[in-house]
Structure 1
Amino acid sequence: MRTWGPLTAVCLGTFMLLLDVTVVVVALPDIARGLHASLSDLQWVIDGYVLALAALLLGAGAAADVLGRRRVHVAGVVVFAAASLWCGLAAGPGMLVAARAVQGVGAAAMLATTLPLLGSAYQGRQRSAALGVWGAVSGSAAAVGPVLGGLLTEGPGWRWIFFVNLPVSVAAVWLTLKVVPETRGPRGTRIDWAGTVAFAGFAGGTTYAVVRAGSDGWTSPVTTGSFALAALALVAFVLAERRVAHPLLDLALLRKPAFVGVMLGALAFNGAAFGVVPYLSIWTQTLLDMSPVRGGLTLLPMTGASVVVAILTGKLLHGVPARLTIGGGLLLIGSGGFCQAVLDAGTHWTVLVPGLVLVGIGVGLVAPALAGAALAAVPPERAGMASGAVNTVRQLGFALGVAAFGTVLTSRMRDTLNHDAAHTLASGGAGALRGAVSEHALRAAFASGLDAASVAAGVTGMIAGALVLMLVRTPRAEASAARTPAETVTAPRG
């Protein structure tokens, strides 16, 4: 217990928080029917969680350095568990979205402290082994999420995708308090409250604007006003980071083309790879009449390929420049998006398999390389900050991808359906439209919307891949130096 107890405790929390990014995807049609949720409600069920996680991740890491990493981690698990119970008991979409946002707050505290806790508990070869296990658990959570979500949704009901977190949380809290030592950052570290609030305002305002653009239009007062507020928050964040002694992000890092390239690649990665997945799930269940389990299993070509390639990448591509693995992986993700734009009213989901496999291969190449590339692009004393920034922009990219591709989806649907019908169809309400609109028209509209969203994801992946190849020029010797992911656990902003 003393040897592997800390790893078990940390991995329990990590698996839960990453599982909740994807587990809800296949439950969206059932949530829409059970809570009478609109398309924007469903988008916020996903984005509320991911956005809170992304917006508070850097701030939670700084708070943990001051207050104690184990203490913040346990507090995060407790908040996550309480919010999971709230999610399961939600009586309406607004309550569910609010509970998901609180879940994200707890998840940020958990994720920000996982690597520092492992770094304090293990040294040498044990640390390398622990980080390897933690990485495998992190990768498996995304793969297991859709299948587990389908099983729970089809079995006891969608609310159990949240209730199942409660016993796991109790075990994680007990084990953490029992076997994980307490650690803190260097003395004199302070929490950058102004930067945390400003970045949260920028991320939230931008995502809200993109979601509202899908229903109100890009030039509506609400959309433009949200973008304006997000821009002001970004200015405030820059000013705050220039003045504080311990910033969340050292703006001098943005003068390094390699670091900027990695951040752009990380931002585009999760959005291009996974931003269309929620709408594919709605399509398979409401138009193709699949069960939640079968809908989750349709994603196995992508998740399976990503796991296999990630394992092989570590063994066969050691020493290959990160710009090639990340840039090439993003180009594959973009190609996979284009390959998925082949749907029409009569096609079956199997036509998506080649594109899903390409995306999975790209994910397997990019995901393991991002953290190492960020570390190679910054001085060693900024390793923790770089690692936190990569995780933050990855989650923010997913939130923006879900919002943006949903807007593209409904915009294309409105070529053949009116505004209300398009949003009803996109939110899983095909059954309510049958009779007023022919089955062929519904399938054709959703297929054309998915094609447009897949093309948008493909363009995003291609542009990001090209930028990474141009900007990330870290010399081979530096990239393969003895800088390992373990360095992220000892830095102030781990």
Structure 2
Amino acid sequence: MNDTGGNGDGGRLAKSSPGAIASLSATIFLSSLGGSVANVGLPTLSRTFGISFPQAQWIVIAYFLAVISLIINAGRLADSVGRQRLLLAGLALFGLASIGAGVAWSFWFLIAARALQGMGGAIMLVLAFALVCDIVRPARLGSVLGLLGAMSGLGTAAGPSLGGLLIAGLGWRALFLVNVPVCIAIAWMVYRTVPRTLHPAATPWRPDWAGTFLLISALCAYCYAATLASGRFAAGNIIALALAVVGVATFILVERRAADPLLRMGMFRDISLCGNLAMSVIGSTVIMATLVVGPFYLVEGLHMTPAQAGLALSVGPVISAVGGVPIGRLVDRLGIVAMSLAGLAIMAAGAAGLAFSEGIVGLPRFIGSLIVVMGGYGVFQISNNAAVMAKSSSATRGTFAGLMNLSRNIGLVTGASVMASIFSATAHDGAPGGLAAAHGLRATFATAAGMAALAVAIGLSSGAVPILRRNAKRGG
């Protein structure tokens, strides 16, 4: 492999580029599988542990909150101590946490294991993107990011379908234990093919514990505020929302004064970068609505089994995965501008297809709209990821990869809490079971369609889109 720019730690130089790219793609697959495999099991887990739908949301939220808690620190640490070795540590943590989730005997033990699993997933996400940018020429970056997007879609697709089959055949514990052999195989691949890298130009890592604590506290309060236990916005939600606002304000003040902050506030003076990150949050929020609300609608509204619901939910991500590499090539050829806007417009159209239906939304319409939404997200995500990484340098690549994944996971947390709460609040309005679930589905995706349109407006008004055009030309 000759594209590392001399990166090395004095012990081992870059190895075969195809083998390394395959290993990193598999890493993305595993992280996506771990994040999605539990979604189809939420109705089963609700019954097993005797918990409500809002409580079950935390099985998903805990994973993504943990991802957020470590994602920036993982990028900065990797820039300082070496990316391959930290990736192996992340894979080990992910595998051990998967065992913990698989043997969980209580709801709270499961939540704790999912949080540890998310910390491993954070390391895997950041390091995979950062290492790909080390070993791939800029002219091919869109295509390789398309491959990573395809593997992410494949992992997301495999999650619901595999999860439904595992629940039907082996029970819910297999949802988590299935990750373990996959994790071991990928760790071996990474060790054999991915180069050890160290970047002397990077700033030595010093953890910002105060910033990390404030960020996670604010996000936990935000998620609690968005979780409507009674189906209505109560006093506890208002208090939690106020705490979230105070937490964010305090976080900004602390970061401005910190000698080595978790996030350098000066980065956000680039309005176009802010636009990219805001668009990423919104796009991920919309896509998470399909992954969390979808299983409940199919099981409770259309009375499907978990296995059937899993297969139905896998169709959209499969289409997104198959199209990942061709989409990446189109990004390289047509530029990021057209592809970003096209992806968001496609997402809005798919969400509108569910929002403006009448009566019970049948399976054909649900799957058709799901394919459109997931396909649009694949187009948008690849384009937006390429735009963010084009703004990074070799010494800051891990930090930018962390920032990119931070925005994505904030969106996923928002989708798992806010969008799920919209469904919960509007699906129990006194109508018969199927009609009530359909009403909740329409309200959720009407919100999603509006959010996709908002993302387009943010991209245009922030100046992100024109700047992305210049970046694309510079990279090509």
| TM-score category, normalised to shorter length | 0.7 to 0.9
Partner AA of 1:249 in structure 2? L
Greater displacement, 226-235 / 161-170: 226-235
Alignment of 1:407-486 (within 5 A): 407-416=421-430, 441-471=432-462, 472-475=464-467, 478-483=470-475
Asked if 1:189 corresponds to 2:181, the answer is no
Cα separation, 2, equivalents of 1:118 and 1:260: 23
Asked if 1:108 corresponds to 2:119, the answer is no
Pair 172,247 (structure 1): closer, same or farther in 2 beyond 3 Å = same
Partner AA of 1:138 in structure 2? S
Aligned residues: 458
Deviations 1:203-230, CA, capped at 9 Å, x for gaps: 222112211x35374341x223322332
Deviations 1:66-99, CA, capped at 9 Å, x for gaps: 4443332222222211211111111222221221
| Runs of 5+ consecutive residues of structure 1 not aligned to the other structure | 418-440, 485-494
Aligned residue among 219, 226, 246 for 1:210: 226
Pair 453,147 (structure 1): closer, same or farther in 2 beyond 3 Å = same
Cα separation, 1, equivalents of 2:82 and 2:219: 27
Greater displacement, 399-408 / 288-297: 288-297
Cα separation, 2, equivalents of 1:200 and 1:457: 25
Alignment of 1:16-165 (within 5 A): 16-118=30-132, 122=135, 133-165=147-179
Partner AA of 1:449 in structure 2? G
Q: CA deviation at 1:452?
A: 1.0
Pair 135,339 (structure 1): closer, same or farther in 2 beyond 3 Å = closer
2:352 matched residue in structure 1 = 338
Partner AA of 2:452 in structure 1? G
SS at match of 1:340: helix
2:249 matched residue in structure 1 = 235
Q: CA deviation at 1:342?
A: 4.9
Pair 386,78 (structure 1): closer, same or farther in 2 beyond 3 Å = closer
1:367 matched residue in structure 2 = 381
1:422 matched residue in structure 2 = none
Aligned residue among 176, 196, 201 for 2:217: 201
SS at match of 2:233: coil
Partner AA of 1:190 in structure 2? W
Equivalent pair of 1:276/1:457 in contact (CA under 8 Å): no
Cα separation, 1, equivalents of 2:20 and 2:28: 12
Partner AA of 1:461 in structure 2? A
Q: CA deviation at 1:143?
A: 2.3
Give the TM-score of the pair, scaled to structure 2: 0.86
> What RMSD in Å do the two structures reach over aligned CA positions?
3.0
Pair 411,478 (structure 1): closer, same or farther in 2 beyond 3 Å = same
Equivalent pair of 2:84/2:197 in contact (CA under 8 Å): yes
Asked if 1:351 corresponds to 2:365, the answer is yes
Partner AA of 1:480 in structure 2? A
Partner AA of 2:445 in structure 1? S
Equivalent pair of 2:292/2:420 in contact (CA under 8 Å): no
Pair 302,244 (structure 1): closer, same or farther in 2 beyond 3 Å = same
SS at match of 2:51: coil
Equivalent pair of 2:87/2:127 in contact (CA under 8 Å): yes
Give the TM-score of the pair, scaled to structure 1: 0.83
Equivalent pair of 2:66/2:115 in contact (CA under 8 Å): yes
Equivalent pair of 1:41/1:97 in contact (CA under 8 Å): no
Q: CA deviation at 1:53?
A: 0.8
2:263 matched residue in structure 1 = 249
SS at match of 2:429: coil
Greater displacement, 406-415 / 54-63: 406-415
1:425 matched residue in structure 2 = none
Aligned residue among 258, 268, 290 for 2:304: 290
SS at match of 2:422: helix
Cα separation, 2, equivalents of 1:132 and 1:369: 9
Equivalent pair of 2:156/2:314 in contact (CA under 8 Å): no
1:428 matched residue in structure 2 = none
Equivalent pair of 2:218/2:245 in contact (CA under 8 Å): yes
Aligned residue among 238, 256, 273 for 1:224: 238
Cα separation, 1, equivalents of 2:203 and 2:438: 56
| Runs of 5+ consecutive residues of structure 2 not aligned to the other structure | 1-13
